[in-house]
Amino acid sequence: MQTLLSFVFVLGVLIFVHELGHFVMARRIGVRVLTFSLGFGPKILKFTRGDTEYCISAIPLGGYVKMAGENPEDSRTGAADEFLSKTKWQRFQVLIMGPVMNVVLALVVMAGVLYQGAPVPAYDKHAPVIGVIVDGSAAQKAGLQLGDHIRAVNGESVEDWEDVLMLVSTKAGREISLDIDRDGARRQERLTPVGQGKYDIGDIGVGPIMNPQVNSVNPGEAAEAGGLRAGDVILAAGGERNVKYDRFIELIKASRDKPLPIEIRRDGAVQQLTVNPKEVDGAVRIGARIDGVELRRAEPSPWGAVKLSAAQNWEWSKMILKTLKGLFTRDTPMNQLVGPVGIAEMSGGAAQAGWLQLFTFMAMISLNLGLVNLMPIPVLDGGHIAILALEGVSRRDFSLKVKEKMLLVGFVLLLTLMVTVIYNDLARVEWIQRLMVWRNN
């Protein structure tokens, strides 16, 4: 029941916000809206206010805003309040506002989640001990070494990496001095930061030690048996100090059925543990999710939460666009696509984890919905926008017959995608898997 309610809640909010975007913009430019529906099919609840019928329909997998004179085949009077009586620019505004509202919702919801506290890399508050030196950088040319502890920049004491970055970032192209500790001896090096990016941020090409951190532990697997817990920071593994994420994974894979000694930091105390990696489903693992860097919890200001939300949504956008591109280049496996059943299951799982996880999931799905709707596929908003653009370039409106053919192609593509994702959803259900004998042979 929780899964169903979570699914209805998430999908209902996303559909409402999307259609509200179309509705508000249509009303703003003077288009008469006939129907505002959440869902498709038979109408369960409905009421009329003004010229618009508001309703909830039986199939909760979408929604629609029906506007007067929206389609060429509709009976039209040529009245100014009909959709096709408006200019292409006005129609574009109506079409684009649905996806825009979903993107805005993702930004707002994620900002609200992050305002409650966000995990961010902890190294900016760590002592500035050099763990990375970029080849060809100013630091390498000046002779800096791994393990050097930066004590001062231009004579000003620094406590952590944030202090170092603040002092170096404003010195692009100007020589600075670094006071460092190396093997217990104090020394001074002079070097010139190089300007990076359009804001000419000074950079000397060094970075912190990045210790991996345990994000979660699977019950009953090697990590739990060895005593690892979520939040543990990996300091060493297999006798190697300051082991990085990639190297840690290599050591795990090389230690199948063999004890792997690990040094961790937990609640400020250093502990020694041993895990025994096992082969599971063809992969050697310890049964833990590992983050590449240690994280700490930040308590951002309202504006800080908005900036963090924008950064997170940008990362999601790049991932979504890469996935969509992969559908055409075959880099994205079709069996990884998720449909309504999968979304419902994930909604339920997020709800069980807490309301923050549920709203994070909502933000991600809202962004997906917004970006996918902008794809230039007829029947989607992006498809209608593409047709408008083509008509604008050709300086003539396409005939009804041409538009019907375009929409038919879009419908076939969308139907094929829906069949694929529903098949994937069903194929993930255990008892249905057993019936799919062609997959088991």
Buried residues in 392-412 as b, exposed as e (16+ CB within 10 A): eeeeeeeeeeebeebbeebee
Name the band, by pLDDT with cuts 50, 70 and 90, for residue 74: low
Kind and range of the H or E element at 233? strand 233-237
Which of 244-258, 404-418, 426-440 is predicted least confidently?
A: 426-440
**CA 156, 159, 165, 166 torsion: positive or negative?**
negative
Name the band, by pLDDT with cuts 50, 70 and 90, for residue 440: low
In this prediction, residues 364-384 reach a mean pLDDT of 87
The share of the chain scoring above pLDDT 90, in percent, equals 30
Query: Is the confidence at residue 47, as pLDDT, over 80?
Result: yes
Query: Is the confidence at residue 31, as pLDDT, over 90?
Result: yes
Helices 355-373 and 340-353, packing angle to 10 deg: 150
The pLDDT assigned to 169 comes to 84
Query: Is the confidence at residue 438, as pLDDT, over 60?
Result: no
Q: Is 189 helix (H, G, I), strand (E, B) or coil?
A: strand
Query: Is the confidence at residue 441, as pLDDT, over 70?
Result: no
The pLDDT assigned to 429 comes to 62
Buried residues in 350-383 as b, exposed as e (16+ CB within 10 A): bbeeeeeebbbbbbbbbbbbbbbbbbebbbbbbb
Query: Is the confidence at residue 109, as pLDDT, over 90?
Result: yes
CA pair distance 109, 364, nearest whole angstrom: 10
The pLDDT assigned to 95 comes to 93
Residues paired with residue 329 on neighbouring β-strands, in sequence order: none
In this prediction, residues 190-215 reach a mean pLDDT of 85
pLDDT, tens digit, 9 for 90 and up, residues 177-197: 999 999 889 999 999 999 887
How far is the CA of 52 from the CAs of 35, 47, 49, 117, in angstroms? 5, 9, 6, 42
CA pair distance 167, 174, nearest whole angstrom: 12
Query: Is the confidence at residue 425, as pLDDT, over 90?
Result: no
The pLDDT assigned to 97 comes to 95
Structure tokens at 248: 């840690």
Q: Is 340 helix (H, G, I), strand (E, B) or coil?
A: helix
Query: Is the confidence at residue 350, as pLDDT, over 80?
Result: no
The pLDDT assigned to 433 comes to 59
Question: Residue 325, Cβ neighbours under 10 Å: how many?
Answer: 11
Query: Is the confidence at residue 201, as pLDDT, over 90?
Result: no
The pLDDT assigned to 182 comes to 92
Which of the 8 DSSP states describes residue 31?
P
CA pair distance 423, 183, nearest whole angstrom: 62
Q: Is residue 130 within 8 Å of residue 163, measured between CB atoms?
A: no
The pLDDT assigned to 20 comes to 94
In this prediction, residues 365-381 reach a mean pLDDT of 87
Name the band, by pLDDT with cuts 50, 70 and 90, for residue 138: very high
In this prediction, residues 338-362 reach a mean pLDDT of 73
Name the band, by pLDDT with cuts 50, 70 and 90, for residue 426: low
Query: Is the confidence at residue 260, as pLDDT, over 90?
Result: yes
Question: Residue 289, Cβ neighbours under 10 Å: how many?
Answer: 12
**Which domains occur in the chain, in start order?**
1-6+92-117+301-441 (no CATH), 123-208 (2.30.42.10), 213-294 (2.30.42.10)
Which of 140-149, 210-219, 288-297, 431-440 is predicted least confidently?
A: 431-440
User: Mean pLDDT for the chain?
Assistant: 84
Kind and range of the H or E element at 389? helix 381-394
